[in-house]
Amino acid sequence: MGPALKAQAIVSTNDPAAADILFDAQVEFIDERPQQMFGTVIVTRTYSIELSAQTTTRSATVPMPQASTVSYDARVGQEKLDGQMRVIAASAAGKIRAYWQGR
């Protein structure tokens, strides 16, 4: 989230007492499927990612993107995972920016 927030000119903090918006990401393991490809076992893992955000002063909910499902192979799919995470983070940061502009 750090680079995505920075790209939106949003200052982030790890101190909940100093934050205007509390952001939370819940990641849940869903499935793991091994399969044989080209003589190698590929293990595809699937996770669900749900984002939420709430203001600290008024306890208002900040709209977030819908829950996402991400699948990748840990040995060869790290770049794919990184790309998917950047897209999810950018979308969340955009929603936070839109909330602040619409206040």
Q: What confidence score (pLDDT) does residue 55 get?
A: 94
User: How many CB atoms are closer than 10 A to CB 26?
Assistant: 10
Residue type, 23: F
pLDDT band, residue 103 (cuts 50/70/90): low
Average pLDDT over residues 2-15: 93
Phi, psi of 20 (to 5 degrees): -90, -30
Residue 92, domain extent: 2-78+87-102
Domain count, the chain: 1
Q: What confidence score (pLDDT) does residue 58 get?
A: 84
CB 99 within 8 A of CB 62: yes
Question: pLDDT at residue 19 above 80?
Answer: yes
- What is 45-80 written as a DSSP string? EEEEEEEEEEESSS-PBPP-PPPEEEEEETTT-HHH
Give the model confidence (pLDDT) of 26-79 as tens digits: 999 999 999 888 888 889 999 999 999 999 988 899 999 999 999 988 777 888
CB 55 within 8 A of CB 20: yes
Question: pLDDT at residue 80 above 90?
Answer: no
Q: What confidence score (pLDDT) does residue 6 get?
A: 94
Q: What is the pTM of this model?
A: 0.84
Alpha-carbon gap, residue 97 to 17, rounded angstroms: 20
